[in-house]
Amino acid sequence: MPCLVALLALATPRLAIVLLWLLSSWFQGVFSTALWPLLGFFLAPTTLIWYSVVQRWFDGEWTLWPVAGLVAALLADGVPARLGLGKRK
Residue 30, number of CB atoms within 10 A of its CB: 17
Tell me which amino acid residue 84 is. Answer: G
Instruction: Write b or e for each residue in 31-70: b if 16 or more Cβ atoms lie within 10 A of its Cβ, otherwise e.
Output: beeeeebeebbeebbbbbbbbbbbbeeeeeeeeeebeebb
Any domain includes 62: yes
The model's pLDDT over 10-30, given as tens digits with 9 standing for 90+, comes to: 788 999 999 999 999 989 989
Tell me the pLDDT band of 74, cut-offs 50, 70 and 90: very high
Any domain includes 87: no
Residue 27, number of CB atoms within 10 A of its CB: 17
Any domain includes 88: no
d(CA 5, CA 61): 35
- The predicted model gives 58-86 an average pLDDT of 84
Any domain includes 89: no
- The residue segments making up the domain with residue 21 are 2-82
Tally of domains within the chain: 1
Any domain includes 18: yes
